[in-house]
Homo-oligomer: A and B are copies of this chain.
Amino acid sequence: MIAVFFMKRDTQTIEKQENSVGLVETKYYTFAEPPDRLKLISGKELGPITLAYETYGTLNKDRSNAILILHALSGSAHAAGCHSPQDRHPGWWDNYIGPGKAFDTKRYFVICSNVIGGCSGSTGPSSINPETGKPYALDFPVITIQDMVNAQYHLIKHLGIDCLLAVTGGSMGGMQALAWSISYPQMVKSVIAIATSALLSAQGIAFNEVGRQAIINDPNWKSGNYYGSWPPDSGLSLARMIGHITYLSEKHMHMKFGRRFQNPEFNSADFRTEFMVESYLHYQGVKFVTRFDANSYLYITKAIDFFDLETEYGGSLMKAFEKVRSNFLIISFTSDWLYPSAMSKDIVRALRRNGKNVIYTDIETDLGHDAFLIENPVLERNISNFLKSEFEKIGLP
């Protein structure tokens, strides 16, 4: 009975809410026209390539109102709305995408693109390798954030868009947005980079590595060749648990769980007793393995580790941003310790030294890194105002 109630309520939410994009579907673009293969940064080639994406709103006549949204490590193309009336969970950025929301679908044509290397409809290690007829597994070439962006370029061109009003994302999505502005300066009017960095910290690499190690240690991983057999669920689940600790702030974790027990009857010092925070992490881990591929986790975290605009441009972040043409909105969160505010400030400094237009906001919150996913009127207002001003700059009402 409870399940039915929830289903009903959620259906109502999506169908009736005025600021929802409603029912949506994921689309797939397979590079058809040459080049149907992508030359990767490593020098290797990958193809054929499919990218999963979703769109919300309508592209205007002069194709000037398109916004590209890019997701974080565990995200997908499904950023807003629901896939069916039964769908209990709307897309990952539904708080910010919809009629009247920050990414106002009455004004903008919003595209969310998945990444290559992923497992949510785009070509990745679980895709079939045309040379063998079997999943790539570890034969999938190592990919970088730049490779993800270069693949998205083809999707944007395919959609008939020559210039994006904005490219945006949080965390790894922010890294892609920065890479977009550098690689395709003429195509990016503005960038909204949230809770991100121009390079991953040593601590960030360390956390990614222990997550990968959890997967590799799982005997079901079988050097990546687990497709068709039981996948390394416990390893991937543990990787996700580790990740989730870093997505919350210590203070938020304290307020959310404290030292409360999951089952107040089990409150003695033994191995059965579970604190709420343990139960939460286990739940996050178990939920994750139903929708994510362990090899994708390895490839994508490696791409994040190797992202380093500073080193790529001869040790100078200023040089990295020399040729960008975009206006920037950089947003960090005071309690984000995975991508601390100082890292956003480094980006802001490098941009300003280049004379670029930058608005920077450090949003006060206890929610940690995950703050960019959660409803927040300050974040909403910042994005909304920035986009309106960009929209007006190009002479649109």
Tell me the A residues contacting B by CB distance below 8 Å. Answer: 41-42, 138, 142-144, 199-203, 205-207, 209-210, 213-214, 217-219, 234-235, 238, 241-242, 245, 248, 250, 253-254, 256-259, 268-271, 275, 277-278, 281, 298, 302-303, 305-306, 308, 311, 337, 340
Measured between C-beta atoms, what is the minimum distance from A254 to chain B in Å?
Answer: 5
Q: Are A281 and B42 in contact (CB under 8 A)?
A: no
- 29 A-B pairs with CB atoms under 8 Å apart are A138-B271, A142-B269, A142-B270, A142-B271, A202-B253, A202-B256, A202-B257, A203-B248, A203-B254, A205-B259, A205-B278, A206-B253, A209-B241, A209-B275, A209-B277, A210-B245, A213-B238, A213-B241, A214-B217, A217-B217, A217-B218, A217-B234, A217-B235, A217-B238, A219-B219, A269-B302, A269-B306, A271-B302, A275-B305
| A250: chain B residues within 8 A (beta carbon) | 201-203, 337, 340
Known: A202-B254, A270-B142, A305-B275. A207 touches B245 (CB 8 A): yes
| A275: chain B residues within 8 A (beta carbon) | 202, 205, 209, 305
Question: Nearest chain-B residue to A238 (Cβ)?
Answer: B213
| A298: chain B residues within 8 A (beta carbon) | 271
Question: Nearest chain-B residue to A234 (Cβ)?
Answer: B217
Q: Are B210 and A238 in contact (CB under 8 A)?
A: yes
Q: Are A245 and B206 in contact (CB under 8 A)?
A: yes
Question: Nearest chain-B residue to A220 (Cβ)?
Answer: B219
Measured between C-beta atoms, what is the minimum distance from A204 to chain B in Å?
Answer: 9
**When chains A and B are docked, how far (Å) is the Cα of A99 from the Cα of B167?**
64
| A337: chain B residues within 8 A (beta carbon) | 250, 337
| A281: chain B residues within 8 A (beta carbon) | 206, 209-210
| A258: chain B residues within 8 A (beta carbon) | 202
Measured between C-beta atoms, what is the minimum distance from A281 to chain B in Å?
Answer: 6
Chain copies in the assembled complex: 2
| A209: chain B residues within 8 A (beta carbon) | 241, 275, 277-278, 281
**By CB atoms of chain B within 10 A, which of A143, A213, A256, A306 has the most?**
A213
Known: A41-B269, A210-B241. A202 touches B234 (CB 8 A): no
Which of B199, B200, B270, B306 is close to A42, meaning CB atoms less than 8 Å apart? B270
| A235: chain B residues within 8 A (beta carbon) | 217
Q: Are B202 and A269 in contact (CB under 8 A)?
A: no
**When chains A and B are docked, how far (Å) is the Cα of A245 from the Cα of B337?**
13
**When chains A and B are docked, how far (Å) is the Cα of A278 from the Cα of B268?**
37
Known: A219-B219, A241-B210, A277-B206. A201 touches B253 (CB 8 A): yes
Question: Nearest chain-B residue to A305 (Cβ)?
Answer: B275
Question: Nearest chain-B residue to A244 (Cβ)?
Answer: B206
Q: Are B302 and A206 in contact (CB under 8 A)?
A: no
Q: Are B253 and A238 in contact (CB under 8 A)?
A: no
Question: Nearest chain-B residue to A241 (Cβ)?
Answer: B210
Question: Nearest chain-B residue to A338 (Cβ)?
Answer: B250
Measured between C-beta atoms, what is the minimum distance from A317 to chain B in Å?
Answer: 13
Since A206-B278, A210-B245 are in contact, a sample of 12 more A-B pairs with Cβ atoms closer than 8 Å, ordered by chain A residue number, is A42-B270, A200-B259, A201-B250, A201-B254, A202-B256, A206-B277, A210-B238, A214-B217, A214-B238, A250-B337, A269-B303, A337-B337
| A259: chain B residues within 8 A (beta carbon) | 199-200, 202, 205, 308, 311
| A214: chain B residues within 8 A (beta carbon) | 214, 217, 238
**When chains A and B are docked, how far (Å) is the Cα of A337 from the Cα of B281?**
20
| A205: chain B residues within 8 A (beta carbon) | 259, 275, 277-278
Question: Nearest chain-B residue to A248 (Cβ)?
Answer: B203
**By CB atoms of chain B within 10 A, which of A209, A269, A306 has the most?**
A269
